[in-house]
Amino acid sequence: MISLNRIVSSAAVALALTASHAAFAEPIKNIVLVHGYFADGSGWQGVAKILTRDGYTVSVVQQPETTFADDVKATQSAVNGAEGRSLLVGHSYGGMVITQAGDDPKVAGLVYVAAFEPEVGETLRDLTSKIPAATKGIKPTPDGHLMFDQPLFNADFAAGVPEAEANFMAVSQVLPSIETANAKVTQAAWKTKPSWAVVSKDDRTVNPDLERFMAKRAGSTVTEIHGSHVAFIVHPAEVAKVIEQAAVASGKG
């Protein structure tokens, strides 16, 4: 005969498993936005406003771009500071960062916006060498950083942004260290987490075909939009829509 104690114990285990599954099935309400090269977190303002209006808790990472490890650490701090799980969103180089930082139980999914989706062992330089970008505007500085040539900035980086705003972005650009372009990713979160990719069809800073290649390799759900490298600034509603769809889908996992 099956003892009453065994029945009660089995029921308790089943209840615990159900509760655990329910906890992980809750909607994702924390969104962590990670910027890329030559910009800072303020570029996410339009997207952040939409997400906040729609009830999401938004964190914008201002990573220093001094070393890859520093940038990953800054992103991990945002994840650890949130209550519950988060969705990581990376633009451009930010995709490198979220791929490494996303291997955390508190990360539910990843969204790549005109971003790099590296495999383990790859560097940003490796990826840009596979399918080069149209622009020739990215240049090294004498002190070990990268900069975007200002005469090419508006057309090749910030196309679609109002001229005065693009001009200011050019003169206030953040110069990443060359080390960040040479750092190898040691873990690829997209192997175990669901991912989404926004491909900018008119991107001249990261080749759209490279974006497509990386998204296909990672098995990301792809949305293509007409836009430059900063399509998230020019088309915030379209990008926010993908992020919200990813947040809902990630919460079901």
In this predicted model, what pLDDT tens digit does every residue of 140-173 receive, in sequence order? Answer: 999 999 999 999 999 999 999 999 999 999 999 9
**What pLDDT does 154 receive?**
98
- pLDDT less than 70: residues of the chain: 1-25, 253
**What pLDDT does 134 receive?**
98
Query: What is the rounded distance in angstroms from the CA atom of residue 165 to the CA atom of residue 155?
Result: 13
Q: Are 94 and 180 in contact (CB under 8 A)?
A: no
- Report the 10 Å Cβ neighbour count for 77: 14
Q: Which CATH architecture has domain 29-250?
A: 3-Layer(aba) Sandwich (3.40)
Residue appearing with tokens 């596979």: 130
Q: Would you kindly state where each structural domain of the chain is located, as residue ranges?
A: 29-250
**What pLDDT does 169 receive?**
98
Structure tokens at 226: 């007409």
**What pLDDT does 27 receive?**
81
pTM, 2 dp: 0.90
